[in-house]
Amino acid sequence: MAAKVISGKQVAEEIRGELKQKVAELKEKGIVPGLGVVLVGEDPASVSYVTSKAKGCEEIGLYEETIRLPADATEEEVLKTVDGLNKDPKISGILVQLPLPDHISVDRVIGYISPEKDVDGFHPVNLGKLLRGEPCPLPCTPHGVKQLLVRSGNDPAGKHVVVCGRSNIVGKPLAAILMQKAEGANAVVTVVHTGAKDISYYTKQADILVAAMGRPNAITADMVNEGTVVIDVGVNRVPDSSKKSGFRLAGDVDYEPVAEKASYITPVPGGVGPMTVTMLLYNTVEAAIWLNQS
């Protein structure tokens, strides 16, 4: 069987189209959702992420403001900047671009963001709400995975989802999202990690397999059953002398052989990647609606 490819680019475009429409309707009511981004330092990857977020905002009609601080900014300066955005009525969503320099506590900064404006969904209050099944902004990459599944006709309800990886930004929140008794979820979820003696014992039992390990080609064809839906979250730089950059991007899944067995598969790049920024835009619009109701 050759797998159908789930195009994250296509699904992201579909969602951005819906958001553009929603933003236009909100503007008619005098509501303009706004994203405030805090960038500390000039790490090239972070600068590029922030640029793509700003472009996404422009595309769907959001107000956007990026505050750039030098790499030697103090933690107090970063907290003061976040505080300003917390109080700014033009801003419905706040994003602090990670990683932060070592002298700044990520936990302290994330904890300082007003939970109502926490569009990354990383604030402990929102993670608690997520576990309890209460309304909250969902962390963007796991939310993107859920949307890819639902919109490709692979509703997780009643399926066995095996998530490989238990990070706070992907594996754990994804498991929490998909186990909820809710639309587009209600799955039976198993989470595997380096503590598992043999991860293939679990991956072979998956109806839906999500790889979020940060290990290039860790999921090989012998670990996957015929007909499994495979979502590859991994983005890894693999040395490649044929490329000008000296590397190519590879997922956590050994794509070609696994695609021979899977029923659906996401590519890298062009799978989960384009969904992350799109769900950030989604959370910013939802936050604006919520803030104007409360």
Q: Which residues bind ligand NAP (CB under 6 A)?
A: 141, 164-167, 169-171, 192-196, 199, 212-215, 218, 233-236, 272-273, 276
CB 22 within 8 A of CB 61: no
In 3D, which of 183, 205, 180 has the Cα closest to residue 192? Answer: 205
Which residue, 36 or 171, has its beta carbon nearer to ligand NAP? 171
Q: Which residues of 80-109 are buried (b: 16+ CB within 10 A; e: fewer)?
A: ebbeebeeeeebbbbbbbeebeeebeeeeb
Which residue, 26 or 192, has its beta carbon nearer to ligand NAP? 192
Give residue number: closest CB to ligand NAP: 167
Give me the active site residues, please. Answer: 53, 97, 120
Minimum gap (Å) between residue 109 Cβ and ligand NAP = 18
Which residue, 93 or 274, has its beta carbon nearer to ligand NAP? 274
Half-sphere CA count of 73, side-chain side, radius 13 A = 21
For 201, counting Cβ atoms within 10 Å of its Cβ (0-12 exposed, 13-18 middle, 19+ buried), the class is exposed
Distance CA 207, CA 188 (A): 10
Minimum gap (Å) between residue 143 Cβ and ligand NAP = 11
Minimum gap (Å) between residue 56 Cβ and ligand NAP = 13
Angle at 21 between CA 24 and CA 138, to 5 degrees: 105
Which residue, 175 or 272, has its beta carbon nearer to ligand NAP? 272
Q: In this structure, are strands 247-250 and 63-69 parallel, antiparallel, or unpaired?
A: unpaired
Minimum gap (Å) between residue 112 Cβ and ligand NAP = 22
